[in-house]
Amino acid sequence: MAKSASKLEWCIVRLGEDHNWWVEEVSDPVRWDVDGLSIIDPRQVQHIVDLVEPMREYGFDQDVMEAAFIPFRIEKDLGSGRVRLVRVKESFFDSEDKLFALPDLLDEENGPYADFLDHITRVRVKMLNDLFDFEQQVSVDEVEDEIREARNVDFMEGKAVHVFAEVTEILDYAPAGWEGEEGEEGARPAAKEDELDDAELPALNEEEEEQLKNDQSLKWDEDEEEGEGDEESKEGKEAKEGEDGGEDDEEDDATAKEPEGDERPRKRNGRGRS
């Protein structure tokens, strides 16, 4: 672990509107600026660990990642989306605890976190060039320039870039037109709505279910389907009545042409009266 971060023992983090965690207060405010300082939560840590796993055969070094982040665990829930974290000596790859990961940003240009970004960029490029038959191989400079351009756009728009987005942008990088082409080794297909497991959906209590039943905005499709069904039934009924009416008209015409039994002309007697 970097000596520059040795005095940081705890921090207070808050859950932002973007559903990411941001640092609000630290034990070493002299050297640590919390303005725009983000931290990776346990779920995101595990996601990164999964992404770097297939990169091991291309030279990924987990020690570089261990040095780039300071591990924390939850000490106390402060309420209102705020949590107090304490620093621990655990490995992100071996620990059974749910760890937060704070990037060591005291030296943003030459520190361990900067080394980590450079390391995963080079390994990612090596992996892509081995997996795909590009007309022209991807270069580290090309990846860095493209990501730097995206960061500049965010800066101009005043957006704070979360560290998780910064890391996964590199780990998920693929040239234009090659996104999602890694197959089983790297691509993560999006789940279809009709394939979602019911177990993944949040449970609703009776009050919430009743509110959903009475929500008029949810009945629009149902009413539309019923309207379409009624219209189809009406059209079908009119078509059937039209067919029946046509048959009745034909029968009436045939009846009019055929004289009734009492009105048939009688044959004249060929013999005159004497």
* 3-class SS letters over 171-202: HCCCCCCCCCCCHHHCCCCCCCHHHCCHHHCC
Task: Please report the pLDDT score of residue 6 as a whole number.
Answer: 52
Residue 231 lies in a domain: no
Residue 228 lies in a domain: no
182: pLDDT strictly greater than 90: no
Name the domain count of the chain. 1
Mean pLDDT of 181-208: 46
Task: Please report the pLDDT score of residue 134 as a whole number.
Answer: 83
243: pLDDT strictly greater than 60: no
State the Cα–Cα distance between residues 267 and 26, nearest whole angstrom: 124
Residue 152 lies in a domain: yes
Closest CA to 123 of 68, 185, 53, 180: 53
State the Cα–Cα distance between residues 81 and 105, nearest whole angstrom: 24
Closest CA to 105 of 61, 133, 78, 68: 68
Task: Please report the pLDDT score of residue 174 as a whole number.
Answer: 86
- Lowest pLDDT segment from 94-108, 110-124, 196-210: 196-210
Q: Is 72 helix (H, G, I), strand (E, B) or coil?
A: strand
Residue 272 lies in a domain: no
Residue 261 lies in a domain: no
- Lowest pLDDT segment from 84-88, 89-93, 140-144, 241-245: 241-245
257: pLDDT strictly greater than 60: no
Residue 247 lies in a domain: no
163: confidence class by pLDDT, cuts 50, 70, 90: very high
Of 59 and 256, more confident = 59
State the Cα–Cα distance between residues 12 and 75, nearest whole angstrom: 10
Max avg pLDDT among 158-167, 184-193, 231-240, 243-252:
158-167
State the Cα–Cα distance between residues 99 and 22, nearest whole angstrom: 15
Residue 237 lies in a domain: no
Domain span holding position 141: 7-188
Residue 222 lies in a domain: no
